[in-house]
């Protein structure tokens, strides 16, 4: 194992767990543990040994026994040719123990402060499986998670703190924090490609949203690019691969044709805000795709491509005020299908960064199984799959 000692840190503990499951903590593969955990069963031996490593003392976590050594023992049981799925029980057991410790500390914090609103930051705030249960289990009424709670977001927080120290009278406005702070794709490059005949756009009298919604409803996989890129680890409708969540084979189709990634990793549902309570138990607004909630049993058959093995979905709440074009697209899809949800995953293939240029978008379009590329109001479709 190549993970740091846990030293009373939940983040370091999860890095050890990531390594023990056969993934790389240095590459940031902690999220693979969360995805894999849904396929496992609780192992009481593993959980009992892990519980002995830390002692929760009020709001603090004290290491009693070396977590890294114990998890290294479990890792040693893996055979060299074991598939990742062989570690599913370890992933779930380690995740459950993580949740127990986090619940105890946050519950103690809530009792100590009496406060009802909670903000979480740091790498462990990316544990969407746990985040979805915080409000139910800890006594808080509301949970806020920033779009980038790990080191990237912490750097912004440090800059804001320094600004306030230099400008003590400064006041920041309240309201939704936009995550769309990144680079823009050059439309001039797209226009030049069209003028030279390298790209041929679809001619349609319909709006971009309506035409794209029709293509999605026909089963097409769409690369969707608009505005500025997202800040943080989630694709939130500006650099996204989109698809119809109604198709039970869509998840496997995207993995095989576009993402080329492991089957145990789920895809996210982007949902119109007003329909959230109809689809999720104990619904909470989730603007940055930062928590997983449980789908209501009666609706799971409607959107099988975005329901994870454990019945959850790491959702993105979409409002017109937050992302007008993306909201318009999902609304158009809802008008056609009566389903207010679109499958959303990041616009990249496994191991590559999310696209940030027109050239990258075009390359992904022609070198993967994406059927349609939408960049602002340009819609391109591969000749082999041209719609009537």
Q: Output the domain CATH number for residue 343.
A: 3.90.870.20
Confidence bin at 260 (pLDDT 50/70/90): confident
pLDDT of 181 reads 93
The residue-averaged pLDDT of 154-164 equals 88
pLDDT greater than 50 at residue 320: yes
Q: What is the mean pLDDT of the chain?
A: 92
Cα 273 from Cα 283, distance rounded (Å): 10
Mean pLDDT of 87-108: 96
Which residue range is the domain that position 334 belongs to? 182-385
Identify whether 99 is part of a domain.
Answer: yes
Name the pLDDT band for 2 (thresholds 50, 70, 90): low
If asked whether residues 307 and 224 sit together in one domain, one would say: yes
Query: Per-residue pLDDT for 335 more than 80?
Result: yes
Considering the domain architecture, whether residues 226 and 367 belong to the same structural domain is answered as yes
Q: Kindly report the number of other CB atoms within 10 A of residue 353's CB atom.
A: 9
How far does Cα 189 stand from its chain's mean position? 30
365 and 252 part of one domain: yes
**Average pLDDT over every residue of 177-186:** 93
What does the pLDDT read at residue 6? Answer: 53
Residue 302, domain member (yes or no)? yes
Q: Are strands 228-230 and 372-375 parallel, antiparallel or unpaired?
A: unpaired
Q: Last residue of some domain: 74, 99, 114?
A: 114
Question: CA-CA distances (angstroms) from residue 83 to 23, 41, 119, 159, 186?
Answer: 11, 16, 37, 43, 42
Of the residues 88, 114, 140, the one at which a domain ends: 114
289 and 202, same domain (yes or no): yes
> Do residues 251 and 351 share a domain?
yes
pLDDT at 211 over 70: yes
The 10 Å Cβ neighbour count of residue 114 is 7
CATH code for position 97: 3.30.420.40
Is residue 140 situated within a structural domain? Answer: no
226 and 337 assigned to the same domain: yes
Q: What is the pLDDT of residue 68?
A: 82
pLDDT-derived band at 37 (thresholds 50, 70, 90) equals very high
Q: Are residues 214 and 76 in the same domain?
A: no
Query: Does residue 357 belong to any structural domain of this protein?
Result: yes
The residue ranking higher by pLDDT, 387 or 245, is 245
pLDDT on residue 134: 96
Per the domain annotation, does 157 fall within a domain?
A: no
* Per-residue pLDDT band at 112 (split at 50, 70, 90): very high
Provide the pLDDT for residue 172: 77
Task: Assess if residue 26 is contained within a domain.
Answer: yes
Quick one: pLDDT at residue 312? 97
212 and 355 in a common domain: yes
Confidence of residue 321 (pLDDT cuts 50, 70, 90): very high
**236 and 367 housed in the same domain:** yes
CA 132 to chain centre: 12
More confident residue, 350 or 40: 40
Domains in the chain, number: 2
pLDDT of residue 7: 62
Pick the closest to residue 296 from 308, 312, 309 (CA basis).
Answer: 312
**The dihedral of CA 247, 248, 250, 251: what is its sign?**
positive
Global confidence as pTM: 0.92
Instruction: Indicate the pLDDT class of residue 386, thresholds 50, 70 and 90.
Output: very low
Residue 273 domain-assigned (yes or no): yes
The reported pLDDT for the residue numbered 78 is 83
* Greater model confidence, 261 or 185: 185
What mean pLDDT comes out for the span 144-171?
89
Q: Other C-beta atoms within 10 Å of 103: how many?
A: 18
Based on the domain organization, do 78 and 187 belong to the same domain?
Answer: no
- Quote the pLDDT of residue 303: 98
% the chain with pLDDT above 70: 97
- Token pair for residue 251? 């998840």
What's 301's DSSP letter?
A: G
Domain boundary among 114, 148, 170: 114
- What confidence score (pLDDT) does residue 92 get? 97
Q: Which of 54-68, 265-279, 312-326, 330-344 has the lowest mean pLDDT?
A: 54-68
Q: What is the Cα–Cα distance from 215 to 55, expressed in whole angstroms? A: 54
Q: What is the mean pLDDT of residues 149-162?
A: 87
Q: What percent of the chain has pLDDT over 90?
A: 76
Structural domain includes residue 120: no
């Amino acid at each position: 194992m190549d993970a740091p000692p846990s030293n009373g840190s939940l983040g370091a503990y999860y890095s050890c767990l990531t390594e023990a499951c056969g993934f790389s903590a240095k590459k940031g593969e902690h999220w693979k543990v969360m995805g894999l955990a849904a396929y496992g069963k609780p192992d009481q031996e593993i959980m009992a040994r892990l519980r002995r490593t830390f002692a929760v003392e009020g709001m603090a976590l004290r290491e009693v026994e070396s977590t890294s050594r114990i998890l290294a023992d479990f890792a040693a049981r893996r055979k060299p040719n074991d598939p990742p799925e062989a570690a599913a029980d370890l992933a779930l057991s380690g995740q459950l123990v993580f949740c127990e410790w986090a619940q105890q500390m946050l519950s103690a914090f809530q009792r100590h402060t009496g406060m009802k609103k909670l903000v979480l930051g740091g790498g462990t705030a990316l544990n969407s499986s746990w985040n979805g249960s915080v409000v139910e289990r800890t006594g808080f009424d509301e949970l806020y998670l920033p779009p980038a709670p790990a080191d990237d977001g912490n750097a912004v927080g440090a800059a804001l703190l320094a600004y306030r120290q230099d400008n003590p009278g400064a006041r920041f406005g309240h309201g939704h924090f936009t995550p769309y702070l990144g680079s823009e794709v050059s439309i001039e490059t797209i226009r030049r490609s069209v003028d030279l005949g390298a790209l041929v756009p679809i001619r349609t009298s319909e709006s971009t949203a309506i035409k794209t919604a029709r293509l999605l409803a026909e089963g097409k996989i769409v690369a969707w690019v608009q505005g500025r890129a997202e800040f943080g680890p989630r694709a939130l409708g500006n650099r996204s691969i989109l698809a119809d969540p109604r198709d039970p084979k869509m998840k496997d189709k995207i993995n095989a044709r576009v993402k080329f990634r492991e089957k145990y990793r789920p895809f996210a549902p982007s949902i119109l805000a007003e329909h959230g309570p109809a689809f999720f138990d104990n619904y909470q607004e989730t603007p940055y795709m930062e928590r997983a909630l449980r789908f209501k049993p009666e609706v799971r058959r409607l959107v099988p491509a975005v329901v994870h093995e454990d019945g959850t979905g790491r959702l993105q709440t979409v409002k017109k005020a937050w992302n007008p074009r993306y909201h318009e697209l999902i609304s158009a899809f809802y008008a056609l299908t009566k389903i207010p949800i679109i499958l959303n995953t990041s616009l990249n293939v496994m191991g590559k960064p999310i696209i940030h240029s027109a050239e990258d978008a075009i390359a992904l379009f022609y070198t993967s199984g994406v059927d349609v590329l939408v960049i602002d109001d340009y819609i391109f479709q591969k000749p082999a799959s041209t719609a009537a």
